[in-house]
Structure 1
Amino acid sequence: MKSVLIIDDEKEIRELLAIYLKNYGYETFEAHNGREAFTLFQKEMIDLVLADIMMPEMDGIELLKNMRQDSHVLFLFISAKSDDMDKINGLQLGADDYISKPFNPLEVVSRVQALFRRAYSYALPENQDRERIEIGDIRLDIKSCKLYKRGVQKELTSVEFKILALLMSHAGRVFTKAHIYEQVWGEEYMGDENLVMVYISKIRDKIEDNSRMPVHLITIRGLGYRFEKA
């Protein structure tokens, strides 16, 4: 049974989400602020975090920063802050998805299910090594979900891993933003270009010597992105 930690200072929202998630077979934990949530997170085995941004004592952003110090737990922001920059800031810090209030509880359940489906799952070509992909000085270990550049490990979120695995396993092929989104998020592309661009930028920071002049992850203007072959 997968476990979900629900964090919101509004009791009604926590209880509503818990009811729906339990109906779909998830175990739930609840916290009313970030500090309480972080203490609970350290004690329990949590598979996914649903967190509001605006909370007392410790807000969602600070909570995510603390969790990301030693965990890659799936993290979904739920917040009334719907500005694009709030969404981008959350994703840059390592959140896996973002949904705005007001929301339909069934949509939240669908996002949770999608996050679990896509976590560490992707399709490799039949002739591709199932344990690692190595191109130039970049090595992606499939079983451990770890990235190495010249032998030095670089931390990856689950979404970053999926995007990189998709592109590296099909090196030389151009993927549009829409294709990347649909393959990685498992949803129909709705034109949210910023989401894909944010993750491409974060991946470049980890694999390129100069992210402004990439030699591995190349932008094909007007089309999309391609991982260069060795």
Structure 2
Amino acid sequence: MSDAVQPTAAEVRAAAEAVKTALDRHLAAVERRSGEDDQAVYEAFNELAAAAEAYDELLYDRYDEVTPFEIPGGEEELPPYAGPEEPNALSVLIRRDYAVAEPQRLLAQAQRIEAADSDAEASGTVHGALGLLFGEYEPDEIASRHKEFGLEEGDSTLWVTAADEPADPGEWLEEPFEGVDAQQVVCRFDVSAVFDEEIDDELDELDTDLDEDGDLERRA
């Protein structure tokens, strides 16, 4: 246990109450979500993560105990922002990973594109079908319709970086993600199956009931 000034029991309990409040807000945001990229859900997730981290630290400092919860790192991993106070330009860096879950569905979609466009050539291969698909549709549309194309979503991340001036035309096209300065990142949003898997594991481990007052009560 740390030799530093310990938090009081009241401070630990207040932090626990903050986690409960943040958990309720996160659930409410999820229930009201308008789509996969709902900003309110991201904000509620970050608030819950911050509340849980604060509680975990106070609990350890006071009682030398930890929680079973671990929030995957996201924005907290970035260094402090050191970019321009009034950016004149910005770059949006996006990476989305997919697995080709149903190759035949992908090939069938490519054939439909070929049938509607005589100039389109998919060559009957998966890599040819992917080239045709991403040449026909915007990335956001593919993200929203990925199941139709036989794709399965993996992790994704979006970074917004700031700059004093826009880059020269054609300057970064050969290496679009090289030389990104983390201190120029204004905000970052991550989506990962790790989040869902860890939450599911925690729910499996916690066998709880609600008592008559609506509080969580651990089963014996």
Q: TM-score, normalised by structure 2?
A: 0.25
Higher share in strand: 1
Higher relative contact order (CA 8 A, sep 6+): 2
Q: TM-score, normalised by structure 1?
A: 0.24
Q: Name which one, 1 or 2, has greater alpha-carbon Rg.
A: 2
Higher share in helix: 2
